[in-house]
Amino acid sequence: MRHLKAGLFGFLIAGAVAGGALADGIKGAPPPFDKGGVKIALVSYLSQGDYFEAYEAGVARQAKALGVDLHIFQGKQDAALQREQIEQAISLGVQGIIVSHGQPEAVKDVIQKALDAGIKVVVKDIDVGNPKVPLVSQSDHEIAQQVLDEALSKNGNKFDAGYVFVAGFRPLELRGEVWADVKRANPGIEQKAVWGAVDSNTATTVASQTAAALRAHPEITVVFAPYDEFARGVKLGASEAGVADKIKVYSADVSTADIQEIREPGSPWVATSATNPAVVGEVSLRALALLIAGQDPGKIIEVKPHLITRDELVKNDIKTVQDLDKKLPGFGQSDLATAPWLAAPAQTQ
């Protein structure tokens, strides 16, 4: 939540990733993992961008560690398509489905259809209000609070702000709640403009909107863009408007490409708060595996974020997400949704 993969349409089945002994089961694991042959689907609403590609990679890496036959359905920001893909996953005879993002009202009934068929379901960043469906998420309130605290620390509590937002997405709604609280607590912050888009080329669309907003409101000095594709678009738009040296951008999420853009000399993008998306993917798969095994992963499984600033990236010579894994304690792993029989991936990235 960058570039749409070439030829992306409908769904991509990632195929069997189990092999060797794992295909015959995991020693000491509860059924059905003791026998092997477990089939799981990942159905995503959003798949463009480094964050979602890394999340998908984390799901796939954990699936491989467990010998799971994983089928990946990649989304195109299309609610009707996501419904169809959940139906397709049900038809495949999977034992579990991860539904990543989307619009709750569009998928509630097909998720219930999966449950009625005996299929376990875990959702990522979409609250369908079903007590049988665990929710995996980042701590979106904490993400927003971390990066907005940094903005207040560096800019004081009186400034003219721009805000990038699109309604209907749970992470953005939650981050927006914190932004509203921060504005109420700091009446010297004046929100001059709101813009945003989530489409097949989010950063480019937001860049055009940003250029127009910053030309109309040259007094803006701080932009809260709580999604890395938004921040990338704001950075591009600020350059187009010729004001990149006059604003500071605070965002959420991180990828290697984000780190490179934040580190650029003169970049207006100065801080983000994020979890490791690959780790969140691993947690999602493990939560579903526990559910399939009849064990309780918890109703809400929330991965804690970390504040990442340009100064820290430069000081610690961090250039990639792999560097963050090594140099930022806790970023590269999580002990959420674990059990003795659940094998960890060989590595995170």
pLDDT score for 23: 60
Report the range out of 7-21, 31-45, 322-336 with the highest average pLDDT.
Answer: 31-45
Q: What is the DSSP letter of 22?
A: G
Quote the mean pLDDT of the chain: 91
pLDDT score for 16: 39
Residue that has been written with the tokens 């049900």 in this structure? 90
The answer to whether 224 and 164 are in contact (CB under 8 A) is yes
Q: Is 159 strand, coil or helix?
A: strand
pLDDT at 186 over 50: yes
Query: What backbone torsions phi and psi does residue 162 show, to the nearest 5 degrees?
Result: -115, 155
pLDDT score for 77: 85
Rg over CA atoms, the chain: 20
pLDDT at 2 over 90: no
Give the global pTM: 0.79
CA distance 74 to 215: 37
pLDDT score for 347: 52
In the chain, % of residues over pLDDT 70 = 92
